[in-house]
Structure 1
Amino acid sequence: MTTECRAGQAQIAPVAVADNLTIADLGAALAAGWRDFIAYPAYGLFFAATYVGAGLFLAYALMEWDAVAWLIPAAAGFPLLAPFVAVGLYEVSRRREAGETLSWGAVLGALRGRGDEQILSMGVIVFVAFGFWLMVAHGIFAVFLSESGIGGESLALFATPAGMMMLAVGSVVGAVMALAFYAITVCSLPMLVDREVDFLTAIIVSLGVMRSNAFVMLAWAVLIAALLFAAMIPAFLGLMIVLPVLGHATWHLYRRVVAGPD
């Protein structure tokens, strides 16, 4: 493999990645993602319904456990799980692009990866990250509200000065964690669906894409976050459309930025 790259590319690990992404590429990816969703809506709706169902179950469980105050950190961290849910969507887009036959067995089988457990390893990282965020949120809660005298089952605590400070600090910490997680998954999971590489190599490539296209990839992160949170407001139902479109679009952005082997 040569380390020489064409103009507009940078060499990251075993592949060349584009270093000339523009905002227009994000629009093109979204348009392509919408076309994939419209072409095969059943797959997108299935994975979105699974994600929405899990979110509603989590909300119900927190209310049953008299822990309503934890809805905010849980909702804030829930998008961390979306990249793993989108693996099946990446496979739909990959197969449609390659002209391969689509079937439920093939699409669901993508969650197992290529028989090398690399995607499952990334799945473990995804769920550990979500658990770690909840632990961090619990620590921030304890620092600011342990002496508030307001029960953990009440949302009224967030209207107190301590509660608002907690939200401010938690938002900053959560944003930093979410950005780090986004950087390691945005291209790594599509790459694991696309190629036989180990998850560490895929993470390195994903970080390289972030470094080579910092402004555009940050804009994509902000757009994803804004659309996901907006879609979560009406009982998560907006995710039935937003999640599959973003999943398919992420595949197309990956295909735009990651070049073929030398």
Structure 2
Amino acid sequence: MRWLALGWADLRRNPAPGLWHGLLLTAGGWLLLWAARDQFWLMAGAFSGFLIVAPILATGLYHVSRSCNSGRCVGMPEVIALWRSGDGRLVRFGLLLGLAGTGWVLTSAALITLYSPEPIHKPVDFLRHVVLVREIGLFEVWLLLGALLAAPVFASSVVAIPMLVDTSAPISVAVADSWRAVANHPGPMAFWAVLIGILVGVGMLTALLGLIVTIPLVAHASWHAYCDLTQRTTSQLHSSADKGGG
């Protein structure tokens, strides 16, 4: 909860970059909804990839929070400069996350296709034959499977992505540190994953409008989670900001 409070403080201190990120990602979500409105598996794949890759798309906000810690406010030009730096580590990590999302969609499709009593072609089919059925079973198994597949993705990225922005560490080191942080603090990290899920869920249930605020809030808070979990000191943060990151 402290991370959320610090993230909210960063958003209030320098709202423009965060709100621009939220607006752009929300617009992207609306575009996906329109393009896949009658094709359930296309929509499921698009949104799974969208949500999994979103932390990479919000990397500029880690730089914003780092700068706030250093007493500076940066705007979108500096965020765009970070994107245009062409950091191959972030590109490769984003591709890996995209592959993870594809794996989830294929696994999900196999489960639903095998056990659904009726063919699932449209979103309304999924609601009618999987979500709203009276019997407990398929939908609950589907949710549990999603949580089991999401857990290693969360463990691999929760510290790794901010670290890739903040330092020159290779992907393998960043992922190892991320897993170590989760292993050392399993309770708080499980709670943090649930909080992120709730915030994203609230954002999606408001016709995606809530994502305009929840995406930058989670991104800023994730930076503070990274700082706490890796015990980054104020002097280290100032040094990283002066160098412009990794």
- Normalising by structure 1, report the TM-score: 0.79
Question: For each residue in 1:193-250, what CA deviation from the matched residue of structure 2 results, as whole angstroms up to 9, or x when unmatched?
Answer: 1111001100000000000000001100011101111111011111111111111011
Report what 1:204 is aligned to.
176
Report what 1:159 is aligned to.
128
Distance 2:61 2:130 in 1: 43
Higher mean alpha-carbon deviation, 120-129 vs 198-207, is at: 120-129
Distance 1:129 1:188 in 2: 16
Distance 1:162 1:199 in 2: 38
Distance 2:87 2:206 in 1: 39
Distance 1:260 1:31 in 2: 18
Report what 2:201 is aligned to.
229
Unaligned segments of structure 1, at least 5 residues: 1-26
The structure-2 alpha-carbon separation of the partners of 1:85 and 1:162, relative to structure 1 and needing over 3 Å to count, comes to: closer
Q: Does residue 32 of structure 1 match 2:6? A: yes
Q: Does residue 79 of structure 1 match 2:48? A: no
The structure-2 alpha-carbon separation of the partners of 1:29 and 1:61, relative to structure 1 and needing over 3 Å to count, comes to: same
Distance 1:244 1:162 in 2: 30
Report what 2:105 is aligned to.
134
Distance 2:121 2:209 in 1: 27
Report what 1:259 is aligned to.
231
CA RMSD after TM alignment = 2.5
The structure-2 alpha-carbon separation of the partners of 1:169 and 1:102, relative to structure 1 and needing over 3 Å to count, comes to: same
Matches for 1:154-193 after TM superposition, within 5 Å: 155-160=124-129, 164=133, 165-193=137-165
Distance 1:112 1:207 in 2: 28
Structure 1 residue 29, shift from structure 2 partner: 1.2
Higher mean alpha-carbon deviation, 72-81 vs 221-230, is at: 72-81
Indicate if the aligned counterparts of 2:44 and 2:105 stay in contact, CA closer than 8 A: no
Matches for 1:65-76 after TM superposition, within 5 Å: 66-68=38-40, 71=43, 75=47
Amino acid at match of 1:36: D
Report what 1:125 is aligned to.
96
The structure-2 alpha-carbon separation of the partners of 1:163 and 1:88, relative to structure 1 and needing over 3 Å to count, comes to: same
Unaligned segments of structure 2, at least 5 residues: 237-246
Structure 1 residue 73, shift from structure 2 partner: 6.6
Amino acid at match of 2:36: L
Distance 1:209 1:161 in 2: 36
Amino acid at match of 1:196: S
Q: Does residue 61 of structure 1 match 2:32? A: no
Indicate if the aligned counterparts of 1:144 and 1:163 stay in contact, CA closer than 8 A: no
The structure-2 alpha-carbon separation of the partners of 1:144 and 1:258, relative to structure 1 and needing over 3 Å to count, comes to: same
